[in-house]
Amino acid sequence: MASIKDVAAEAGVSVATVSRVLNDHPSVSAEARARVLAAVEALGYRPNAVARSLRTDQTHTLGLVISDVLNPYFTELARSVEEEARALGYSVIIGNADERPDLQDHHVRNLLDRRIDGLLVSPTDGGSPLMLDAARAGTPMVFVDRWIPGVDVPVVRSDGRAAVRDLVAHLHGLGHRRVAIIAGPAATTTGRERVDAFRDALAAFGLELPDVYIGQGDFQAESGRRVTEGFLDLAEPPEAVFAADNLMALGALDAVRARGLRVPDDIALAAFDDIPWFVHTDPPVTAIAQPTGELGRAAVRALVDRIEGRPGESVTLPARLVVRRSCGENPTQVQRSTT
Amino acid sequence: MASIKDVAAEAGVSVATVSRVLNDHPSVSAEARARVLAAVEALGYRPNAVARSLRTDQTHTLGLVISDVLNPYFTELARSVEEEARALGYSVIIGNADERPDLQDHHVRNLLDRRIDGLLVSPTDGGSPLMLDAARAGTPMVFVDRWIPGVDVPVVRSDGRAAVRDLVAHLHGLGHRRVAIIAGPAATTTGRERVDAFRDALAAFGLELPDVYIGQGDFQAESGRRVTEGFLDLAEPPEAVFAADNLMALGALDAVRARGLRVPDDIALAAFDDIPWFVHTDPPVTAIAQPTGELGRAAVRALVDRIEGRPGESVTLPARLVVRRSCGENPTQVQRSTT
DNA sequence: CCCGTCGATGTAATCGATTCCACGGAGTCC
DNA sequence: GGACTCCGTGGAATCGATTACATCGACGGG
């Protein structure tokens, strides 16, 4: 592969001049510029990003460590992150943690070793020492969706409390009183918050969330299935189940179907995170929708701000309830999905 | 960030010795090794992958350019690719082409500039000059799922012809005679092949595939919706529609639902690519399942073989039909999904 | 006792870029 | 006409690693 030296030789100038042309530095004569450009063309020269990064100490690359690529929420997030990053002149390297702290650390380390300019993370756990060290050492970092408390890193996320209250009102309005939740890992903020928000909202209606109605999941489908089976095995199963993410809702649907039961007749179901498929499931699933694309874009902007020396602010956007049919029919319901 | 020089100074040895310890070269005394390791620990030193790559001309990185991250088929593929690559000591950088040749080229160029060791591509078009040049120039490359004919690059894909024949037999058995297809872009191999396979299989049953029953999609949901609306507007709409991927099937479901029609009563639907959600859609969707994970792993193995100087072979694995209810009920049907 | 071998180590070149500094020539000002 | 600016250019240092080659000391064989 041709290097800058080959181009210099071909154009009959020094490597310094070639470099100047390539980085359009002003002080290059029109003639030299033309010769260099011709040589670049002739040799099919492309600058070596590795060498450039070594010298400039910049990779123009962002690292994104997401919790699970198989989760449509995170792929949508990844897509918007890459789009915004590209618009700002950055590339993105994605690491999939698969909800495993060890894999998360593997990717964080890998990205740090590659000297990415900044890191976007949705932590799968309470905080690996590795990531905390990196944050303390000054690696530009932004948390997205999930975060780690007590670290001085901007957080871009959505607040689902209001939407959860709407959901509980919806469930209550449909007559559900025994309601359960399939929670995410307690080590994650979203894992805890969604349970807390749900419990608080229930309390406002004078309802309790007993421990047997809190199933411990891990945000992946299999755990949703397992927890739901546990609920169905109870002497007094819940009337409604709220899955803290879309994959666990999928697992719950699997479990319900395996028992030959029906949603919502036998048990109501709602999920956090709305995805296109929820419109077409049997029944369509009532869900809490996050402004995913906007979150991804805001996170990139905050990160790039940090990288380029500007403050980089936290952002919290509201989620909203999208009512469909999985919690039961209620003709008087005001809010209703149009899609 | 500490460099190898700092470690050398801290340990009281030369950088060469540090490098030897880090790459466990045999000829280093136990004592020097211990001192270096202690210094590494004390400084929290991590080797700079950029510098290392520049020197060794290896990045231990694979590039993966997929057609669409929002397509669950490709995210599953990406996941298995990353897993296998990790097992073989490589990282993966994903580029999302979003079914756009220009974006595909952007990512290919970006990956090439980063001097990735090898490239895994599922081309969105008939072949960008950029990619062909790279292949000719000797960049280790493997096509996965889709490929470009006439290029000497291994292809890892699945053959759906038999499964398509099974599907057509299934449709025919259910009494469907007017069947249509939502095709992928003709510039892609999978776009063409699936139409050809479908047409051939229909011919075996004495059925035709008229042009009006071939809708041109682009493998994304919106096109599935548009094409399906076109079909429904025909004076004689098809009785069954075969979507050439899962996203176009989603679009088709949207279109059918928007008209207030039902699958399969008003129109039957089948899709290429099986995904977990198809079990729970209304109705569950009959689909052709590819061995996606195995494809991803085989592709990585072929690519790494090429990179490391071994041959690197093409692989073709069979797809299979998974019958559900979206084409109509048939109690005598032998093959039936259990999930 | 001397020399050859081998193991451990250091010096320095190298990868492909960027960029500081110096230099020569042209133009300007007084 | 001489001094001073600029402008365009090239030489060379530099980034952080790897590695060929040189060196040095210890050791074993003849």
SS (H, E, C) chain B: CCCHHHHHHHHCCCHHHHHHHHCCCCCCCHHHHHHHHHHHHHHCCCCCHHHHHHHHCCCCEEEEEECCCCCHHHHHHHHHHHHHHHHCCCEEEEEECCCCHHHHHHHHHHHHHCCCCEEEECCCCCCCHHHHHHHHCCCCEEEECCCCCCCCCCEEEEECHHHHHHHHHHHHHCCCCCEEEEECCCCCHHHHHHHHHHHHHHHHCCCCCCHHHEEECCCCHHHHHHHHHHHHHCCCCCCEEEECCHHHHHHHHHHHHHCCCCCCCCCEEEEECCCHHHHCECCCCEEEECCHHHHHHHHHHHHHHHHCCCCCCCEEEECEEECCCCCCCCCCCCCCCCC
Q: Evaluate if the CB of A54 falls below 7 Å from strand C.
A: yes
Contacting residues of A for B109, CB less than 8 Å apart? 46
- pLDDT one-digit tens code per residue, B258-267: 999 998 999 9
SS3 label, residue A282: coil
Nearest to B119 by CA among B130, B98, B97, B134: B134
Model pLDDT, residue A330: 60
- pLDDT one-digit tens code per residue, A234-268: 999 999 999 999 999 999 999 999 999 998 999 99
Nearest to B194 by CA among B80, B71, B287: B287
Backbone angles phi, psi at B149, to 5 degrees: -65, 150
* Residue A247, token pair as written in the block: 């994959």
Architecture of the domain defined by A57-157+292-317: 3-Layer(aba) Sandwich (3.40)
> Cβ(A224)–Cβ(A182) under 8 Å?
yes
Q: Where do we find the tokens 């699933």?
A: A285
Nearest CB partner across the interface for A280, out of B48, B281, B339:
B281
> Cβ(B160)–Cβ(B170) under 8 Å?
no
- pLDDT one-digit tens code per residue, B290-311: 999 999 999 999 999 999 999 9
B12 vs B200: CA distance, rounded Å: 74
A286 vs A241: CA distance, rounded Å: 11
Which DSSP string do the residues of A79-112 spell out, in sequence order?
HHHHHHHHHTT-EEEEEE-TT-HHHHHHHHHHHH
Q: Evaluate if the CB of B29 falls below 7 Å from strand D.
A: no
Assign 3-class secondary structure to A292-327. Answer: HHHHHHHHHHHHHHHHCCCCCCCEEEECEEECCCCC
List the end-to-end C-alpha distance of chain A, in Å, as a whole number: 52
Give which of A60, A62, A75, A93 to mutate to test B binding, by max B Cβ within 10 Å: A75
In order along its 339 residues, chain A shows pLDDT tens digits of 899 999 999 999 999 999 999 999 988 999 999 999 999 999 999 999 999 999 999 999 999 999 999 999 999 999 999 999 999 999 999 999 999 999 999 999 999 999 999 999 999 988 789 999 999 999 999 999 999 998 999 999 999 999 999 999 999 999 999 999 999 999 999 999 999 999 999 999 999 999 999 999 999 999 999 999 999 999 999 999 999 999 999 999 999 999 999 989 999 999 999 999 999 888 899 999 999 999 999 999 999 999 999 998 999 999 999 999 999 976 444 444 444
Strand-pair partners of B269 = B241
Distance A31 CA to C29 C1' (A): 29
Q: How many Cβ atoms sit within 10 Å of the Cβ of residue A269?
A: 23
Query: Kind of pairing, strands A320-322 and A286-289?
Result: antiparallel
Nearest to A121 by CA among A140, A138, A143: A143
* Residue B300, token pair as written in the block: 């990585």
CA distance A206 to chain B (A): 34
Model pLDDT, residue A336: 44
Nearest to B65 by CA among B127, B151, B20, B138: B127
Distance B21 CA to C2 C1' (A): 35
Residue of B nearest to A48 (CA): B113
Superfamily of domain A4-47: lambda repressor-like DNA-binding domains (1.10.260.40)
Residue of A nearest to B46 (CA): A113
> Cβ(A261)–Cβ(A220) under 8 Å?
no
> Cβ(B20)–Cβ(B45) under 8 Å?
no
Distance B288 CA to D27 C1' (A): 72
Q: Is the bond preceding B185 in cis, omega lying within 30 degrees of 0? A: no
Residue of B nearest to A280 (CA): B281
What one-character DSSP code corresponds to residue A281? B
- pLDDT one-digit tens code per residue, B221-253: 999 999 999 999 999 999 999 999 999 999 999
Architecture of the domain defined by B56-157+292-317: 3-Layer(aba) Sandwich (3.40)
CA distance A331 to chain B (A): 18
Strand-pair partners of B62 = B92, B118
Q: How many Cβ atoms sit within 10 Å of the Cβ of residue B259?
A: 14
B48, A115: Cβ pair inside 8 Å? yes
Model pLDDT, residue A280: 86
Give which of A22, A280, A292, A326 to mutate to test B binding, by max B Cβ within 10 Å: A280
CA distance A192 to chain B (A): 27
The H-or-E segment that residue A224 falls in is helix A221-233
Model pLDDT, residue A36: 96
B79, A96: Cβ pair inside 8 Å? yes
> Cβ(B140)–Cβ(B111) under 8 Å?
no
Given CB atoms, is A70 within the 8 Å cutoff of chain B? yes
| pLDDT over 60 (residue B115) | yes
Model pLDDT, residue B1: 86
> Cβ(B93)–Cβ(B114) under 8 Å?
yes
SS3 label, residue A271: strand
Nearest to A263 by CA among A252, A274, A273, A272: A252
A221, B276: Cβ pair inside 8 Å? yes
Spatial strand order of the sheet with A268-272 comes to A214-216, A179-183, A240-243, A268-272, A286-289, A320-322
Nearest CB partner across the interface for B113, out of A47, A112, A115:
A47
| pLDDT over 90 (residue B282) | no
A83 vs A300: CA distance, rounded Å: 9
Give which of A69, A105, A261, A275 to mutate to test B binding, by max B Cβ within 10 Å: A69
Model pLDDT, residue B339: 46
Q: Evaluate if the CB of B20 falls below 7 Å from strand D.
A: yes
Model pLDDT, residue B128: 87
Distance B24 CA to C4 C1' (A): 28
Q: Evaluate if the CB of B113 falls below 7 Å from strand C.
A: no
A96, B82: Cβ pair inside 8 Å? yes
Distance B29 CA to C2 C1' (A): 28
Query: Kind of pairing, strands B240-243 and B179-183?
Result: parallel
Distance B28 CA to C5 C1' (A): 18
Nearest nucleotide from residue B11 CA, by C1' atom: C9
Distance A117 CA to D7 C1' (A): 35
What is the percent of chain A where pLDDT is above 90? 91
Sequence-separated (6 or more) residues with CB below 8 Å from residue B124: B67, B97, B99, B100, B101, B104, B146, B185, B187, B188
Domain with CATH 3.40.50.2300 in chain A: 57-157+292-317, 159-291
CA distance B203 to chain A (A): 33
Question: Region B150-162: what's the mean pLDDT?
Answer: 95
Q: Name the residue closest to C12, CA to C1'.
A: B16
Scanning A114-188, the segments in alpha helix (DSSP H) are 129-136, 161-173
Given CB atoms, is B55 within the 8 Å cutoff of chain A? no
Count CA atoms within 13 Å of residue B152 on its CB side. 6
Nearest nucleotide from residue A15 CA, by C1' atom: D10
Given CB atoms, is A282 within the 8 Å cutoff of chain B? yes
A54, B59: Cβ pair inside 8 Å? no
Model pLDDT, residue B127: 78
Q: Is the bond preceding A283 in cis, omega lying within 30 degrees of 0? A: yes
Superfamily of domain B159-291: Response regulator (3.40.50.2300)
Sequence-separated (6 or more) residues with CB below 8 Å from residue A117: A58, A59, A60, A61, A62, A90, A140, A307
| pLDDT over 50 (residue B150) | yes
Domain with CATH 3.40.50.2300 in chain B: 56-157+292-317, 159-291
Sequence-separated (6 or more) residues with CB below 8 Å from residue B191: B183, B184, B185, B219, B244
Q: Where do we find the tokens 């109501």?
A: A268
Domain with CATH 1.10.260.40 in chain A: 4-47
pLDDT-based confidence at B334, cuts 50/70/90?
A: very low
Model pLDDT, residue B338: 45
Q: How many Cβ atoms sit within 10 Å of the Cβ of residue B179?
A: 25
Q: Evaluate if the CB of A20 falls below 7 Å from strand D.
A: yes
Q: Residues B82, B88, B89, B93: is their CA dihedral positive or negative?
A: negative
B198 vs A149: CA distance, rounded Å: 55
> Cβ(A157)–Cβ(A316) under 8 Å?
yes
CA distance A177 to chain B (A): 26
> Cβ(B179)–Cβ(B242) under 8 Å?
yes
- pLDDT one-digit tens code per residue, A156-182: 999 999 999 999 999 999 999 999 999
Q: Which of residues 161-190 of B touch A (CB under 8 A)?
A: none
Given CB atoms, is B337 within the 8 Å cutoff of chain A? no
Model pLDDT, residue A267: 96
